[in-house]
Amino acid sequence: MAEKGTVQSLDRAFDIMEQLCGARDGLPIHELTERTGLHKSTVHRMLSSMAARGYVRKDEESGRYRMTTKLYALSGQVVENLDLVQIARAPMEALSRQVHETVHLVVPEGTDIVYVHKVDVEQGAIRMFSRIGMRRPMYCTGVGKAMMACMSDEEVDRIWDSSDIQAYTPHTIVTRERLHDVLEAVRRRDCAFDNEENELGVRCIAAAIRDYTGKVCGALSISAPLMRMSDSYLAQLQPALLATRDRIARDMGWNG
């Protein structure tokens, strides 16, 4: 029975999923009905929704429902992200102490980036607006461009076409051609810049992180107010950023 304050439909869906996860050969609707105590029509409706989203499949010959590997894939993503944060935490703290600036870690999620860890500078310094869990479009952030530079042109175009392109500031990239030109420069430098494209008054330098598969699993950045983020200062920050990125990537199994 659902506890007070929970969402009944979610509880019912999880009851069904838990039963299916424990059934090697799958389960027919009538058995799911018996095990969960739910009405047959409710079970059928839940299974239809799960099947539509790829979490469940029906064996047409036996009529049994089975879980797919989609949950496994999702859990793998969660574990990888948690591992990345754990691995990156100490290097990020060391980098922040070294450069006396805010350091961010993000992961890709669809057409966006999500902030998963942040190391602020010492008390008294200007703090960045960013927060853990915050999402931003890939195309208008330094960390996003660093990751996109590791993708093929076709992948970049898919992200661009699926994004809600808008000018967050007067400096935001709003044409596909300009983005491709910038990504070519990122590939040559092995790092990307955010020149007030996402937030006025803030610049950053970012680098993508690969894991043991060679796939980009995240990106690292150093951010600071525009008033001290001159081009020469960005150049000074680059070696420390890339050294920290390489340390994290090695610990993630990247041998490139």
Return the domain boundaries, the chain: 8-68, 74-251
Categorize the per-residue pLDDT at 124 as very low, low, confident or very high, splitting at 50, 70 and 90.
very low
**Stretch 116-120: mean pLDDT:** 91
Residue in the block written with tokens 């879980």: 67
Q: Which residues pair with residue 180 across a beta bridge?
A: none
Q: Please write the tens of the pLDDT for every residue from 144-202.
A: 999 999 999 999 999 999 999 999 999 999 999 999 999 999 999 999 999 999 888 88
* pTM of the entire predicted model: 0.67
Q: What CATH number was assigned to the domain covering residues 8-68?
A: 1.10.10.10
48-65: b (≥16 Cβ within 10 Å) or e: eebeeeebbbbeeeeebb
**Domain 74-251 classified CATH 1.10.760.10?**
no
Helix H or strand E encompassing 222: strand 216-225
Comparison of pLDDT for 131 and 54, the residue scoring more:
54
Lowest pLDDT segment from 6-10, 38-42, 217-221: 6-10
